[in-house]
Amino acid sequence: MTEQRQDNRPPSPAPPSRRSQRRQTVAELRSQGRAGPGLRDILPAFLGMVLVTAGPVVGLAWLYRAYGVGALLLGALLLAAATLIGVPWRRAVVRRRGGRYTPAELAVLDDHGLAVAAERILRRDGWHVLPMPDDGRPRLYARDRRDRRLDVSFRPVDGGPGTAEPPGGPATLREPGGPADDRVIRVVISMGAYSPAEIEWASRPGGDHLVDGRQLQQWASGTSLDALGLLN
């Protein structure tokens, strides 16, 4: 009787195949963000690399067959010149997108270009940045993992020392905040220098943190605002 009951039991499920186990493992890794790129992710970049590599070779071969050795040498020289110019230019573009600028690159920026550079530099240092223009003037709000918050504005260089200042404080700086503003660190960035009156005004409790041209160059070269002592 016992043997008959055992024979009537449903058969145990077959163990999963290696392919299904591999698919399940990949799905778990992707859900955890630990899986590497798939074929769909790398295929466009791979095809682009093949075209960039094979295109010049095909072009040189066509020049040789159509016009001879002279055209081949001329094409090779032009390709070498384009490579010498294009590679450093591409590296500079990638470097700036990563939040690193040279003093010469900073010097040619206007107010909006400086805001873009500051946004990239803040992102480089781990800040989450949100552009919030104020009456057409560039302005940034940023927040980091320590829940520190920045209100970043930009001071035009032509508003530097010698500009008339109304009573009560420099026009380019804001009124020092009260206790309600303690959570927000207000930063003013300029590619020039600040006047003694502006520095004194910003040194008041709750005043702005000033970033002048020299500190801006250090910040853009890779030094963080904390290392510069500007957020202490």
Question: What residues does each domain of the chain span?
Answer: 39-97, 103-160+172-220
List, in order, residues 6 or more apart from 19 with CB less than 8 Å away: none
Looking at residue 14, what is its pLDDT? 63
111-114: long-range contacts, CB 8 A cutoff, minimum separation 24: 111/137, 111/138, 111/154, 111/156, 112/138, 114/138, 114/154, 114/189, 114/191
Looking at residue 215, what is its pLDDT? 94
Looking at residue 51, what is its pLDDT? 74
- Residues 164-179 pLDDT 10s: 333 334 444 554 444 4
Looking at residue 218, what is its pLDDT? 95
Looking at residue 214, what is its pLDDT? 94
Intervals of the chain under pLDDT 70: 1-16, 26-41, 157-182, 232
Tokens in use for 59? 């072009």
Residue at 2: amino acid letter: T
The whole-angstrom separation of Cα 190 and Cα 197 is 15
- What is the CATH architecture of 103-160+172-220? 3-Layer(aba) Sandwich (3.40)
